Amino acid sequence: MIHFLQGTVAEVGLDSLVINVQGIGYHAFCSTRTLSSARKDEHMHLATHLHVREQEMTLFGFATGAERTMFTTLTKVSGVGPKVGLAILSTLTSQEIAEAITLKNGKMIARANGVGPKLGERVVRELQGKLDGLALAGMSVDGATINDTETPSGSIAQDVLSALTNLGYKPEHAQKVLSETAQALPDASFDILLKNTLKSL
- Residue 18's pLDDT is 98
Domain spans, the chain = 4-62, 65-137, 152-196
- CATH match of 65-137 with 3.40.50.10860: no
Give the pLDDT score at 169: 79
pLDDT of 146 above 70 = no
8 Å CB contact between 72 and 131: no
pLDDT average, residue stretch 16-43 = 95
Interval 180-190 mean pLDDT: 82
Q: Which of 177-181, 184-188, 189-193 ranks highest by mean pLDDT? A: 177-181
Of 164 and 15, more confident: 15
Query: CATH top-level class for 4-62?
Result: mainly beta
* pLDDT band per the 50, 70, 90 thresholds, residue 192: confident
pLDDT digits (tens, 9 = 90+) for 99-145: 888 889 999 999 999 899 999 999 999 998 777 545 434 444 333 34
Non-local (6+) Cβ contacts of 200 within 8 A are 177, 180, 181
Average pLDDT of the chain? 84
Task: Express as a percent the part of the chain with pLDDT over 90.
Answer: 49
CA 49 to chain centre: 8
